[in-house]
Chains A and B, each alone.
Chain A
Amino acid sequence: MPTDLRRPTLADAHLGAVPVAHQFDDFEQQTGADTFGMWLFLATEILFFGGLFCGYSLYRNLYFDAFTAGSHLIKVKYGAFYTVLLICSSLTMALGVRAAQLRRKNSLTIFLILTWIMGAAFVFIKLRYEWYGDYLEGLAPSLNWAPNHESMEMIQHFHATVPHVMLFFIFYFVMTGLHALHMVVGVGLLTTLLIFTRQGKVTGGNYNWVEIVGLYWHFVDIVWIFLFPLLYLIGGRYV
């Protein structure tokens, strides 16, 4: 087979024997396909969240007062904390990708563990404290929907109606819930990646696995960057 028509392969040049699946000609084609596949998957994800963002925009426009009131009923301190947490985790993830490219196994492990901790903390705090708190306050539609006196005062303060505030909370739970589900998947991916790293598979050649998981991780963070102001900061609320 005349190989001169092919692009030179990184695999041949640097890594020696790296497993290449039978359908690919070389390592570079394989990594290119893997990364491109993840980009396409993220395109699907954008549209997946997109449907919810559309519904959210429509109702926010129709019932702005209710959405402002709803936004004042959820705890902005959590939202702000998550934002800091996720931005930091994006940084450690990016440093992890760098460490993988330089084939530094131990620093890669450290960065992956740091990212893992921040991701897991996000999920834990959200479920245990934020959502559970909302539930106890009677702000969980259908499960426990009985806004207390303070909540009712807030709703009246914004001239909002209770059913429309409930609509806000549906979008709040569905959108952050879908995002949290993605975080859980991300933490699972990080766990797998950590195992492979310790087995030496990642720094042994498949460093693009870190890049692919990193793409996913950054995407989930970016979704949060949109969710935070849309849900927590309606009506110029900063405290």
Chain B
Amino acid sequence: MYMMWLNFPGQPPQASTFSVEWDYLYYFLTALTIFFSALIFIVIFYFAIKYRRRDKNEVPPQNEGNLPLELTWTIIPTLICVFVFVWSAQLFIRASSPPASATEIFVVGKQWMWKIQHPEGPREINQLHVPVHVPIKLTMTSEDVIHDFGVPAFRIKRDVVPGMYTTEWFEATETGQFHLFCDQFCGMGHSTMVGTIFVMSQEDYARWLASQLNSKPMFVSGERLFQQLGCNTCHTPEGKTGVPPLEGLYGSEVKLQNGKTVVADDAYLRESILGPEAIVGYPPTMPTYQGQMDEEDVLQLIAYVKSLGPSGERKATKQ
């Protein structure tokens, strides 16, 4: 009990590049709040004392209002709002655009645990090991309800929604262990759907990766799944009539049947595997794989397709 008061909490750790930028805006808004609250409090107390009722029958002189004053306290808050809006929107854009060089890590939320996989293969549950000073992009989806992947020390948070991929990114600046919370209420185990982020020096991280035996890179597992599910009977390297070639597909532009053009990204591939007739630009000859694989399997397959492109450095496995 005594120790509790010694460590009186005031600020969460500032452990990412974004957390510093975020805190500046937070400090500004806090100062703004304190300033205006104090202003209102002081004025109210001053008026309440100076103009207190001295006689129970007194009526003060009346005052209808004052247009310049009204305009002043309409325009000044508006200007402050515009300023805050622009600043915070910029911050949001930065938080929503991971750098192209970011290392990708995959997250699947499930009642009530976080399943995480590194492209090199290692899988973790409720733990995430990352190297310091390297931008990390998280691609996330959920097996069941909506979850939310939040790391207070990095000031990042994003909903993890079933049926779609959401992303967030960070670049850790300090080594250590930090909280991972599920921030969207997801049922009985919500408050135990927590974990730890281990930020390690780059050498330690490399050592940690190497120590994860029995793990194959995601695209290798994806390739095996590709064969097990019989995908390679149609998706041959030579290409069959009406079957799209997978080499070089990832990142390329695909024309849909309704005439629109989309980029073949993670979401497109996921949709193509699970609900093929819906959006892809090919005759619906491929069966849906909805219900036959979980979100983690889909991620392996996407990793495999990704490894085949964009320049097609690898070739699809022959039958």
Contact = CB atoms under 8 A, between A and B. Distances in A.
A–B direct touch in complex (beta carbons closer than 8 A): yes
B257 interface: yes
Given A63-B278, A164-B278, A159 B257 contact: yes
Q: Interface residue tally of chain A, by bracket?
A: under 10
Interface in A163-205: 164
A161 B278 contact: yes
Nearest to A161: B277
Interface in B231-284: 257-258, 275, 277-278, 283-284
Interface string A62-105: 01110000000000000000000000000000000000000000
B319 interface: no
Given A161-B275, A161-B277, A164-B278, A64 B288 contact: no
- Which of B258, B278, B288 has the most chain A CB atoms closer than 10 A to its own CB? B278
Interface in A46-66: 63-65
A61 to B, nearest CB: 11
Contacts of B258: 64-65
Interface string A150-165: 0000001001110010
Interface string A139-159: 000000000000000001001
A164 B284 CA distance: 14
Contacts of A164: 278
Nearest to B257: A159
Contacts of B284: 156, 159, 161
- Which of B258, B275, B277, B283 has the most chain A CB atoms closer than 10 A to its own CB? B277
A26 B283 CA distance: 71
A160 B277 CA distance: 6
Contacts of B278: 63, 65, 161, 164
B116 to A, nearest CB: 30
A170 to B, nearest CB: 17
Nearest to A156: B284
B288 A161 contact: yes
Contacts of B275: 161
Contacts of B257: 159
Contacts of A63: 278
B256 to A, nearest CB: 11
Nearest to A158: B277
A164 B271 CA distance: 14
A160 B257 CA distance: 12
Interface in B266-316: 275, 277-278, 283-284, 288
Contacts of A160: 277
A156 to B, nearest CB: 8
A106 to B, nearest CB: 58
A180 B278 CA distance: 32
Contacts of B283: 159
A164 B288 CA distance: 13
Interface string A18-42: 0000000000000000000000000
9 contacts: A64-B258, A65-B277, A159-B257, A159-B284, A160-B277, A161-B277, A161-B278, A161-B284, A161-B288
Interface of B: 257-258, 275, 277-278, 283-284, 288
Please provide the 8 A-B residue pairs with the shortest distance between their CB atoms, ordered closest to farther: A161-B277, A159-B284, A159-B277, A161-B278, A161-B275, A159-B257, A63-B278, A164-B278
